[in-house]
Amino acid sequence: MVSRLLKIGFLGLLLFGCRSSKEFYSNTGTLKNITDAKLIKNTEENYVPFNSVFFKKFHAEIVLNGDKKSFRGNMFIERDHSIVVSIYTLMNIELVRVRFQPDLVEIMDRTKKEYTKSDYRLLWKKFMVELDYHMLQDILLNELYAYPIGDNIRLDLKKYKHDRKANMYTFQSIKKGRFSRLYRKESTDGIILHEFSILPEVFKVSKSYIKDFGSNTSVNIEYDNFTQIQSSLMPNKIMINGNRDGDCFSLNIYFPTIDITGNNSIGFKVSKKYDVKDLLHE
């Protein structure tokens, strides 16, 4: 159960920034005429810049097909290099430590004294969507990403088109009119819809939604509790809901304390006493 909880939980781990306050942004903002390119540019300019970030004692609750579990953890991200997550019980007993790198996933199961290394196919089998290091990092950083996974995120995002809906900009992989026609004609098999909701004026991602009609899969990622970090805003809460052919999960994570480019980190050293499982060459 620990392994399954871990693998599902990491899709939802969200980044915050610096040490958080409790003054959350709540303005709706004003929508203005804007081009697709300008929407991307404004959103990218509002990323919080950092080399590393440490999330101390985050709280998480996951519900998997009705089975609810709660846990705590610490997370350390070194941009474009690695993401290390430590998950422990409410009694401060570490269960699992995981390190994500661009081409490698490593898992230390403390309870089984077992070390596993794999590529990202390990996550694809358990998550509702395909996932690589950079997509995971972008989700954690509240940044834009293209889906399905491609070789050039900036080039792929240029294919997205925006609209305005419910006091937010929407930014999606299929133009609204074309998608509506396909939906009416029931011709969506094989279509993947990826849509962002972006807050006006502050240009922060409020929601990311993926719908794969071919596999009957959907994942909805929502960000909340935006607060001022340096010159921008970052959320300290994420809510994820996923569904695939009747299998569903929800995940809520809250980050109470976060330091940007500080002195904290999480190591990753495997004991020689651990059994090794190498899934890279299976």
Identify the burial level of 144 via C-beta atoms within 10 angstroms of its C-beta, where 0-12 means exposed, 13-18 middle and 19 or more buried: buried
CA 171, 174, 180, 184 dihedral sign is negative
CA separation for the pair 127, 251 (Å, rounded): 12
Q: How crowded is residue 143: how many other Cβ atoms within 10 Å of its Cβ? A: 18
CA separation for the pair 205, 70 (Å, rounded): 26
- The predicted structure's pLDDT at residue 126: 65
E strand map for 150-260: 161-165, 168-172, 192-198, 205-212, 217-229, 232-244, 247-254, 257-260
Going from N- to C-terminal start, the domains of the chain cover: 2-260
Q: How crowded is residue 189: how many other Cβ atoms within 10 Å of its Cβ? A: 9
Identify the burial level of 234 via C-beta atoms within 10 angstroms of its C-beta, where 0-12 means exposed, 13-18 middle and 19 or more buried: buried
Cα–Cα distances in angstroms (integers) from residue 177 to residues 124, 163, 174, 182, 245, in the given order: 31, 11, 8, 9, 27
- The predicted structure's pLDDT at residue 43: 96
Retrieve residue 268's tokens. 């990753």
Half-sphere exposure of 258 (CA within 13 A, CB side): 32
Retrieve residue 29's tokens. 């903002």
CA separation for the pair 16, 226 (Å, rounded): 9
Pick the CATH number of 2-260 from 3.90.950.20, 2.50.20.10, 3.40.50.1820, 3.60.70.12: 2.50.20.10
CA separation for the pair 78, 101 (Å, rounded): 10
CA separation for the pair 139, 10 (Å, rounded): 10
DSSP 128: S
Q: Which residues of 66-97 are buried (b: 16+ CB within 10 A; e: fewer)?
A: eeeeebbbbbbbeeeebbbbbbbeeeeeebbb
Q: For the whole model, what pTM was predicted?
A: 0.85
Retrieve residue 163's tokens. 């609209």
pLDDT, one tens digit for every residue, the chain (282 residues): 444 444 444 444 433 334 444 567 877 788 999 999 999 999 999 998 888 999 889 999 988 888 898 999 999 999 999 999 999 987 889 999 999 999 999 999 999 999 999 998 877 766 667 889 999 999 999 999 999 887 777 778 999 999 998 899 999 998 766 666 655 555 566 788 999 999 999 999 999 999 988 888 899 999 999 988 777 888 999 999 988 888 888 889 999 877 887 788 999 999 999 999 998 876
Q: What's the chain's length in residues?
A: 282
